[in-house]
Chain A
């Protein structure tokens, strides 16, 4: 038993959850989330590491709060990261690189790549709104809370994002 797993089932309290338990519960989905927000796999892993590294000790006692905190950290870090990357890739129109998957046919993969490439041409805020809505399946108020904006701003970002996506995907056909 590692020390970080000691807390589980111990007398410290049922609500107390160890970092190891939090990591086990959240890291895979958080990595997927970061992958959708960022442009590359290594960058996504870096975001997840940083989010867990920054997790304050007080959140370890509250797994639900810790989950929200981790998601918000990845969100904020991805925005800063994208802001830096966008300068370097302003004119880059290369499709988003994806790992090969045996389960997916070439046609399906091409279709997904096309959508993902369009997604990555959105502004960071628009992309976040889309990912939180269509992948995290969060209701509007929770998206607003996660992004730190008003519900109206979420609507606006989503609407603009969808308009841009439609235009980009139609233009590519």
Chain B
């Protein structure tokens, strides 16, 4: 027997002893998860140190220096179901209290939108088809996946193919319907259109709003006709819309129970806050079960400011200011999500089309940065 043959035989003999433990895959997933958490924790720890320093200063500061607060006892935040975020590594469950990533939804890296049903178990996310571009502006179709997390991990509950990439999606409060916006390419090479779908999950029946609502919602750079949010009674759908080419934008509230296209107010309302043309609404979301419509209002009087507020559905008039948000110069607020209880919120801030930071507001008036590297959020 030559040395070559002896080597081959010995190596094959040793290799045949490789009998993978059935738990190996679970251990791989666990290790990947821990690696992600460790990566995500670096900015969170930094933010935590900063927050501690800020808190130390706040303790010694006079009460008048504190931001306006809504009702509620400072710091009394009931345990909330896990939110959902999209990072560069895909969609994850997210603990808004600790800022830690939870389970990943799967090996996805091109997620364009995510939605949490608010019960901590059901989530939906959208993936473009045939594109590895993280922003997926050029994708020609997409798929929405519905997943449920249980004691043994996640299971797929269904999927919905779409005829364009999904810009945003949201579960109704009772979890029976899913609203989503699909971007449709313009035939003439001009601006794209946005299509708003409301799907009854049990039957698959859909109602679609296109031109009319979409006429003013035409997508520009993939940033408009987004931030879908259902009123707790499932009658109204609020969202932020932009007008292609003409610029500008604002929030709209659609009555999904009415025939045709029925807004609570004409679509142009909300583009600018009533009585103050220097202010506008840049993000909206219903404040959980309270039924109030929350919003982020930006004003550019002397310097750009961002306030978390509640507004009237009909015209965007501010009904209460919850907190002043610390948003860096040149950064924007791109998404807002309230906890189902309404006593906490997550605000996504950053540059357009880039991962941003998450600010967490609690009803005590506390606002702190809890995570970085976030592309989308839902709670």
* Residues in chain A within 8 A of chain B (CB atoms): 1-7, 10-13, 18-20, 23, 27-28, 31-33, 35-36, 41, 44-45, 48-50, 52-54, 57-58, 60-61, 96, 98-99, 101, 104, 108-109, 111-112, 115-116, 119, 130-131, 134-135, 162, 165-166, 169
Q: Please give, as numbers and ranges, the residues of chain A lying within 8 Å of B70 by CB-CB distance.
A: none
Per the bound structure, the CA–CA distance linking A60 and B14 in Å amounts to 29
Contacting chain A: which of B139-147, B315-323, B341-349, B356-364?
A: B139-147
The SS class assigned to the A binding surface is: helix
Is A10 a contact partner of B159 (Cβ separation < 8 A)?
A: yes
CA–CA, A112 to B8, complex, Å?
10
Which partner residue on chain B sits nearest A11 by CB separation?
Answer: B143
B31 pairs with A3, CB closer than 8 A: no
Interface-forming stretch among B17-25, B173-181, B229-237? B17-25
Q: Does B290 contact A (CB under 8 A)?
A: no
Check: B4 CB closer than 8 A to any chain A CB: yes
Q: Are A27 and B24 in contact (CB under 8 A)?
A: yes
- Is B106 at the interface (CB under 8 A from chain A)? yes
CB pair A130 B17 closer than 8 Å: no
Q: What are the residues of chain A within 8 A of B3 when measuring CB–CB?
A: 162, 165-166, 169
Q: How far is the CA of A62 from the CA of B60 in the complex (A)?
A: 56
| Distance in angstroms between the alpha carbons of A148 and B307 in the assembled complex | 54
B residues bordering A, Cβ < 8 Å?
A: 3-4, 6-18, 20-21, 24-25, 27-29, 31-32, 35, 88-90, 105-109, 127, 129-130, 132, 141, 143, 145, 147, 153-156, 159, 161
Contact between chains at A13 and B129 (CB < 8 Å): yes
CA A148 to CA B309, docked complex, whole Å: 57
Q: What would 25 A/B residue contacts be, using CB atoms closer than 8 Å?
A: A2-B155, A4-B107, A7-B107, A7-B108, A11-B143, A12-B129, A13-B129, A32-B14, A35-B15, A35-B17, A36-B11, A53-B31, A54-B35, A58-B109, A60-B107, A60-B109, A61-B109, A98-B13, A98-B17, A104-B13, A112-B10, A112-B13, A130-B7, A135-B11, A169-B3
In contact, B18 and A115 (Cβ under 8 angstroms): no
Please give, as numbers and ranges, the residues of chain A lying within 8 Å of B109 by CB-CB distance. 57-58, 60-61
Interface centre among A1, A12, A162 (most CB of B within 10 A): A12
Report the minimal beta-carbon distance from B113 to chain A, rounded to whole angstroms. 15
Contact among B4, B27, B29, B127 with A12 in the assembled complex (CB-CB below 8 Å): B127
CA distance A41 to B4 in the complex (A): 24
Nearest Cβ in chain B — how far from A98, in angstroms? 6
Structural contact, B129 and A1, CB atoms closer than 8 A:
no
Of A10, A41, A135, the residue contacting B143 (CB under 8 A) is: A10
CA distance A2 to B149 in the complex (A): 10
Are A57 and B7 in contact (CB-based, < 8 A)? no
Instruction: Report yes or no: B24 in contact with A45, Cβ–Cβ below 8 A.
Output: yes
| Residues of B contacting A44 in the complex (Cβ-Cβ under 8 angstroms) | 18
- Name the CB-closest residue of B to A24: B25
Q: How far is the CA of A35 from the CA of B35 in the complex (A)?
A: 24
Partner among A11, A49, A61, A162 whose Cβ is within 8 Å of the Cβ of B28: A49
Give A43 to B11 CA distance when docked, in angstroms.
Answer: 17
Contacts of A49 in B (CB 8 A): 24, 27-28, 31
Give the residue of B10, B90, B141, B153 whose beta carbon is less than 8 angstroms from that of A111. B10
A3 partner, pick from B6, B15, B88, B106, beta carbons under 8 A: B106
